Structure 1
Amino acid sequence: MFLVDDLLVNPFLSLLDILHTMALDEMNDMEEIRDEIKENQLLYEIGERSETDYQQRKQQLEARLETAERIQAQMQGRIEVKR
């Protein structure tokens, strides 16, 4: 019974763990969030975005970046997926 688990279940669970890690990496790509912060600031500076919209978006992006940093800190030591 344990042999069957080792042969059939463990590879599936490992694959799920890898997919989960990849999904978290994609959703919480800090570089992409930083780029969005820069884009938001640029749009505000050239007058394409009002100050209210700029401030709201800035707060959203900063909260998202903070969350991404916490998730990345928690993911330390888990499976590293190389692209």
Structure 2
Amino acid sequence: MILVDDLLVRPFFSILNILHSMAIEEMYDVRAISNELKENQLLYELGDRDTEEYERRKAELEAELEVAEAAHEQLSGRVEVRR
């Protein structure tokens, strides 16, 4: 029974862990959020974005970045339980 469990169940959970990690990476892409912050700053400096819109978007992106960094920290610190 343990052999069947090791052959069938463990690969399934490994695939789930990989898919979960990929989903977290895509949902919480720190680099993309940082790039959006830079773009927001550039648009403001070029005059394409007014101060109110710039500040609102900056606050949104900074909050997203904080969540993304926390998600990546938790993901990297996650301990896998193996039998």
Q: TM-score, normalised by structure 2?
A: 0.84
Tell me which stretches of 4 or more aligned residues in structure 1 moved more than 4 Å.
none
Deviates more, 1:59-68 or 1:20-29: 20-29
C-alpha root-mean-square deviation of aligned residues, in Å?
Answer: 1.6
CA apart distance, 1:36:
0.4
Where in structure 2 are there 5+ consecutive unaligned residues? none
CA apart distance, 1:76:
2.0
Give the structure, 1 or 2, with the largest relative contact order (CA under 8 Å, sep 6 or more).
1
Q: TM-score, normalised by structure 1?
A: 0.84
Separation in 2 of the partners of 1:63 and 1:77?
A: 21
Q: Where in structure 2 are the equivalents of 1:38-53 lying within 5 Å?
A: 38-53=38-53
Matched length:
79
Q: Percent identity?
A: 57
Separation in 2 of the partners of 1:76 and 1:62?
A: 21
